[in-house]
A = this chain, B = another copy of it.
Amino acid sequence: MRKEFLGISNLISLNHIGIAVYSLEEAIARYSRMFDCEVLHSEINEEQQTAEAMIKCGGVQIQFLAPTSETSPIAKFLDKRSQGVQQIAFDVEDLDLACDQARGLGIRVLYPESKYGTAGSKINFLHPQDCNGVLIELVELQKPNFSNG
């Protein structure tokens, strides 16, 4: 019989692969020339101090992340490792539950409370040292609001 699963039980799907870049415009232009991508969305995330653009490429979302300040986590990543994959993000049904389940396994969750992510989502991160060097973002998408319907 299968042992009871005690990890993150409500993973839905890959949301995106996040790539730290020096310039959003340069990265979008390069990937669009290479792969015939579609630009889905772009915004400034003040809290994370990043400029973000989501493109669709081979059926998957790729998020380019550029720093908007020297204290941005992306600026630190670029200083240390230069451009490259900085995170992979999975959608979860319930972010607070997923974070509690991760903590229950002894996996460090970066923030005590969820942060504001792209397009109204709630996000948090699993510590890369607990995930074989991979910064894993967990995303709870904004639910449609039908309360006024």
Residues of A within 8 A of B (CB): 5-9, 11-14, 17, 19-21, 26-27, 30-31, 33-36, 57-60, 64, 81-85, 88, 90-91, 102, 105, 107, 126, 128, 131-134
Contacts of A90 in B (CB 8 A): 58
Contacts of A91 in B (CB 8 A): 58
* Contact of A7 with B34 at beta-carbon distance under 8 Å, contacts A84-B133, A84-B134 already known: yes
Consensus secondary structure, chain A interface: mixed
Contacts of A85 in B (CB 8 A): 17, 84-85, 88, 133-134
Do A128 and B84 touch (CB < 8 A)?
A: yes
Of A105, A128, A132, chain B has the most CB atoms within 10 Å of the CB of A132
Contacts of A36 in B (CB 8 A): 5, 7-9, 11
